[in-house]
């Protein structure tokens, strides 16, 4: 079943139709005569593969424990003509690998020889809907997305017609399977040079957060104070990600400053430290775990 994203489909709903028309006026590129519009990128088709284009480009990205890679398989008139693989920094994302594969594939197009009378048409096949959606999204200006748009505009100036097509991954399509193998090989091969090392901001923020929490944890572990509080919150990361309703009673509880008999006895406010249950001194630990006066509440919380 083919899934078309065309203006004709948008006619089924007037609001969607007008929104698509508005988007189609937004250029990707700077050439007024041959701008690559959002509407043209919207013409993405779900397909099992086609030889309708003079050049078929299959792209894929891979990220695993051994690295990140991008693969490109180029077919001319439905026959394999070239295969390429590119390695990214291990901290790059799979989405970046998918986008880099498309960018490199478009850059390689100028080196492909076709017959003089052959249509200058390119079909770019990708199994990444996120990549196609990012190209459609005019508010998305990340580096690789913008570079792909620039390359599309450059190819348009030389009379290439480019169509993006989504293809289901691991469905037995030879082009897609080849691109996938190339991407995985690039990711795992230590001898493949890194050609892209722009680390995503999200990764940098995560690394900074991890480093900060680790230092905080080390300081917390070395601290010779707040012994009672450490019993409640030994792990800094767990405490940060736990939502707690802070109030004076809670603070007094977890810092050991609650008005227990043991605590106020230290300041000679009470004559004895013994709990009213007469089992032992009324400490925080006793109230939480042993006091018979609070057995009902304790059983309720443990149920």
Residues 181, 71 share a domain: yes
Q: How confident is the model at residue 38 (pLDDT cuts 50, 70, 90)?
A: low
Q: What is the CATH number of the domain that holds 152?
A: 3.30.420.10
Q: Which domain holds residue 293?
A: 204-302
Residues 190, 289 share a domain: no
- Which positions ≥6 away from 75 have C-beta within 8 Å? 55, 56, 57, 58, 81, 175
Q: What pLDDT, in 10s, does the model give residues 165-207? A: 888 888 888 999 999 999 999 999 999 999 999 999 999 999 9
Q: What pLDDT, in 10s, does the model give residues 143-173? A: 999 999 999 988 988 888 888 888 888 888 8
CA atoms within 13 A on the CB side of 123: 24
> Mapping DSSP to helix (H, G, I), strand (E, B) and coil, where does residue 196 land?
strand
Residues 297, 278 share a domain: yes
Closest CA to 174 of 283, 75, 35: 75
What is the model's pTM? 0.67
Residues 224, 270 share a domain: yes
- Which positions ≥6 away from 225 have C-beta within 8 Å? none
Residues 158, 257 share a domain: no
Residues 208, 189 share a domain: no
Instruction: Give me the helices (H) in 26-70, please.
Output: 38-42
8 A C-beta contact, residue 100 and residue 198: no
- Report strand pairing: 194-196 vs 36-37: unpaired
Residues 218, 125 share a domain: no
Last residue of a domain, one of 165, 182, 199: 199
| Total domain count, the chain | 2
Residues 178, 224 share a domain: no
Report the C-alpha gap between 298 and 156 in whole angstroms. Answer: 73
């Amino acid at each position: 079943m083919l899934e078309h994203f065309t203006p004709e489909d948008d006619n089924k709903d007037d609001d969607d139709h007008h929104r698509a028309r508005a988007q189609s006026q937004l250029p990707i590129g700077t050439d007024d005569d041959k701008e690559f519009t959002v509407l043209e990128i919207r013409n993405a088709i779900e397909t099992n593969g086609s030889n309708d284009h003079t050049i078929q480009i299959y792209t894929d990205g891979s990220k695993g424990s051994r690295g990140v890679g991008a693969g490109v398989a180029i077919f001319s008139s439905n026959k394999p003509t070239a295969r390429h693989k590119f390695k990214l920094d291990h901290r790059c994302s799979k989405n970046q690998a998918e986008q880099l594969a498309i960018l490199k594939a478009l850059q390689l197009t100028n080196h492909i020889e076709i017959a003089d009378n052959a249509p200058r048409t390119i079909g770019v096949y990708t199994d990444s809907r996120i990549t196609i959606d990012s190209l459609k999204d005019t508010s998305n200006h990340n580096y690789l997305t913008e570079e792909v748009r620039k390359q599309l505009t450059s190819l348009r100036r030389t009379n290439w017609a480019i169509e993006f097509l989504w293809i289901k991954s691991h469905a037995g399509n030879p082009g897609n399977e080849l691109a996938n193998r190339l991407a995985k090989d690039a990711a795992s091969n230590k001898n493949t040079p890194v050609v892209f090392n722009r680390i995503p901001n999200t990764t940098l923020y995560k690394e900074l957060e991890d480093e900060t929490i680790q230092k905080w944890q080390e300081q917390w572990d070395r601290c010779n104070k707040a012994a009672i509080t450490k019993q409640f919150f030994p792990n800094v990361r767990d405490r940060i990600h736990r939502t707690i309703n802070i109030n004076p009673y809670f603070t007094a509880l977890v810092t050991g400053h609650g008005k227990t008999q043991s605590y106020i006895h230290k300041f000679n406010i009470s004559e004895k430290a013994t709990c009213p249950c007469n089992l032992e001194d009324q400490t925080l630990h006793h109230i939480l775990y042993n006091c018979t006066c609070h057995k009902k509440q304790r059983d309720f919380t443990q149920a």
